[in-house]
Each structure stands twice: as C-alpha cells, then as structure tokens.
Amino acid sequence: MAGLPLYAQLINLLAAILLLLAFAMLAQRRVLSLIDLFAAQGVALTASTAIVAWGTGQTHLWFSAALTLVLKVFVLPWILYRLIRRLDVRWDVEGMVNIPTTMLIGIVLVVFSFNLAYPISQLASTVTRSTLGIAIACVMLSFLMMITRRKAIPQVIGFLSMENGLFFAATSATYGMPMVVELGIALDVLVGMVILGVFFFQIREQFDSLDLKHLEKLKEPE
C-alpha cells in the first residue's frame, strides 16, 4: 500500500467505505435510513471518480463525477423521498432472512467476489486494479439485499446500489466508460425510476400495500 500513489490509496480507502456502506444497507431495517445510505454511497462514488480523474488525467471523468453527484446524491434520493412521502410509508424493511444470517451470507459473497476478481485483477494494468474485488462484492451484496427484501422500495434501492458497484468498477478498474455510455445509463436510470414510481402507486392502489407477495394474486383465471 505504501508504494502506491496517493490517489490510488485514497481510492482504496473509498472502496472500503463503499463496502462498509453496502453491509450497512444489508443490515438496515428503516427505509429512510436506506435512502440516506444510498446517498452516502453516491458521495463516496463521486469522490472516487473525481480522484481517478485527478490522478490519471482522464478529463471526461470530471463530467462523470459531476453527473454522479447530481444524479445519485441529489436527484434519485429526492425522488425516493417524494415517493415514500406520497405513499405514506415509514415502516421497517421486512426481510425474508434474519439479519445475522443475511450478514453471514454477505461475508461469504465478499470472499467469493475477491476470489473471482483475483485472476482478472492480475491481468489489469491500472494502478487501482485491486478495487475490482470490492466492486464485485458491492454488486453481490446489493443483489442479496434485493432478493431478501419483501417490499418494493428496498428492492429498487438495492438495484440502484448494484448500479453503483458496476459504475465504481468501471471508473476505478478501467478508468471509466465513454461519456455517451454514461449519459445513456444516467437517462435509463431516471426513466426507470419514473416507471417504478408509477408501478409503486399502482400496487398501492390495487392492494393497499407495497409487499410484492400480493403480485402472486395476479394470475390468469383457469
């Protein structure tokens, strides 16, 4: 670690923070706290992207950092806050697996992610290649959060957090994607949030609940 440039050490620190935030989201039971943790992930992701831009001279990453700041720290959390206010939801997150078991599964996924990323990292030529394992672990933990939650909104936050992990892998391990790709992904995420907002209201109006188990009732009559 001591032989790494300062920017690489800072990125490794932010990668560890992203992993801790992913574990915190996995253990969190309050929807409002989940949104706060997602915004904190956005702050860490913005900082890591800006540091990669500063350390490598990749100027397009400055635009990526600004886009991440606006979208993941302000716009998406604001949309989620408005959704839960409109839907009048303040409940705890109900999990299909208890928290200790979920955390143990998360630790196993982290170990698996590091073993999966190790041979790939050895082939990479970037200074920040060691962060690939953490990026994959963040994606895995977000996916675990999606499949262990019963409610729709925590599952959507898990999906957005998964996209954070993928974006971190792209910026830190490969020094970013083409700007047109990043803009396309940002637009897709915004459109997806609007569609999911309509989906939430339809579920709430139909079943008076956001528990996805009610969707099992939507079967064609025999």
Question: Taking residues 121-150, what's their average pLDDT?
Answer: 82
pLDDT digits (tens, 9 = 90+) for 28-86: 888 888 999 999 999 999 999 899 889 888 888 898 889 889 988 998 888 888 888 87
Q: How far is CA 196 from CA 2, 38, 79, 83, 133, in A?
A: 45, 17, 11, 10, 30
The pLDDT of residue 220 is: 47
- For the chain, which residues make up each domain, given as ranges? 6-210
CB 84 within 8 Å of CB 31:
yes
The pLDDT of residue 216 is: 52
Average pLDDT over all residues of the chain: 79
Instruction: Using the predicted structure, report yes or no on whether residue 160 has a pLDDT greater than 70.
Output: yes
Q: How far apart are CA 87 and CA 102, in angstroms?
A: 28
Tokens of 150: 């019963």
Question: Taking residues 16-20, what's their average pLDDT?
Answer: 94
Q: Give the global pTM.
A: 0.82
Q: How far apart are CA 123 and CA 82, in angstroms?
A: 44
Q: How far apart are CA 167 and CA 46, in angstroms?
A: 10
Instruction: Using the predicted structure, report yes or no on whether residue 15 has a pLDDT greater than 80.
Output: yes
Q: Which of 146, 137, 161, 120 is nearest to 16 (CA)?
A: 137
